[in-house]
Amino acid sequence: MFPSEEDALEFLEDYDLDEARVKLLKELGRISEAAMIHAKNGDLFRAAEILITSAHSVDHARPAIEYLLAGLWRGYTIGVLPTSNPIVPKLLRLGDRLDKSAMTEQEVNEVRRFRPFNQRAFYP
């Protein structure tokens, strides 16, 4: 239908067909670009998930960590119970799948600090 992959991607972008664009980018092995689309749309979980589940490259670890931490901070908005945000436990489970050797000690500790706030027993 399209003369090239780039033409197809351009068409999908022009018509805001992000899900189809993500799918094509993943098929083309352009994982970072696919994740970036989700991140730009505010879906940090899916951005991190794409990078972590297709972690064929160490290059994917850094942005995955950044998306994961940004998502956790967003999920722990002041004045809102973290247990009311269903994405937080998903992000924490996703964090368990990360290669800890790709994380700094500060990042490991940061993720660890979020865990107690996600426990239902923590709240009266």
Q: What is the pLDDT of residue 98?
A: 86
Calculate Rg over the CA atoms of the chain: 17
pTM of the model: 0.84
Q: What would the pLDDT profile of 61-118 be if each residue is shown by its tens digit?
A: 899 999 999 999 888 776 666 566 788 889 999 988 888 888 999 999 998 888 876 6
Indicate if the alpha-carbon torsion angle 34, 40, 44, 46 is positive or negative.
negative
- Would the pLDDT of 43 be above 60? yes
Q: What is the pLDDT of residue 80?
A: 64
